[in-house]
Amino acid sequence: MPDVTLTGPNGPVKLRDHIGKPLVVYFYPADDTYGCTIEACAFRDQYEDFTAAGAEVIGISRDDSSSHDAFKSKHRLPFTLLTDPRGDVAKAWGVRGIFGVGGRVTWVFDKAGVVKHKFESKIRFGKHVDEALETVKALARS
C-alpha cells in the first residue's frame, strides 16, 4: 500500500494505519453527484457484509470535510470519507479522470496491505461494490 496521508473528519489519516484487516479504498469524482451517490449508497447498502467479513471501507475524493459531512449525513453513509484536495494521492495511485472530472477506481487490500484486487470503471458504479465484496469474502475464507 502506498504510504499516503489524507485529510479525515478529525485531521490527518495515514492509510497504512488501517493495515491489519482487509481494506477497501475507493476513489470517486465528487460528493452528491449522480454516479457517486449510486456508488456510495451501494457501499452503504452492503456495508454490513463488508464488516462481517472483517473489512473496512474508505472513500476518497477532492471534496472537503464539510462536503463529506453533508454527503454522509444526507445518505446515511457509515464509512469514512477522506479528502485529497489537489488530487495528489489519486495521481500517485494512477487514478486518472477525464475532462477535469476525477477518476473512479476501487482497490481491495489484504490485512498485510497487499493489493488483491483493482477495479476501474467510470460508469459501472455498482460493479465496484460487487467486485470489492467478492474479493473481501474470498479473503475472509482464506
Catalytic-residue membership of 36:
yes
| Helix, strand, coil fractions of the chain, as percent rounded to 5 | 40, 25, 35
- Answer yes or no: are the C-beta atoms of 80 and 59 closer than 8 Å: yes
**5 SS3 class:** strand
* Active-site residue, selected from the candidate residues 4, 15, 25, 36: 36
DSSP annotation string for 17-83: GGTTS-EEEEE-S-TTSHHHHHHHHHHHHTHHHHHHTT-EEEEEES--HHHHHHHHHHHT--SEEEE
**13 SS3 class:** strand
Q: Would you give the DSSP letter of residue 87?
A: S
Return the C-alpha cell found at 108: 481491495
Give catalytic residues, as residue numbers.
Answer: 36
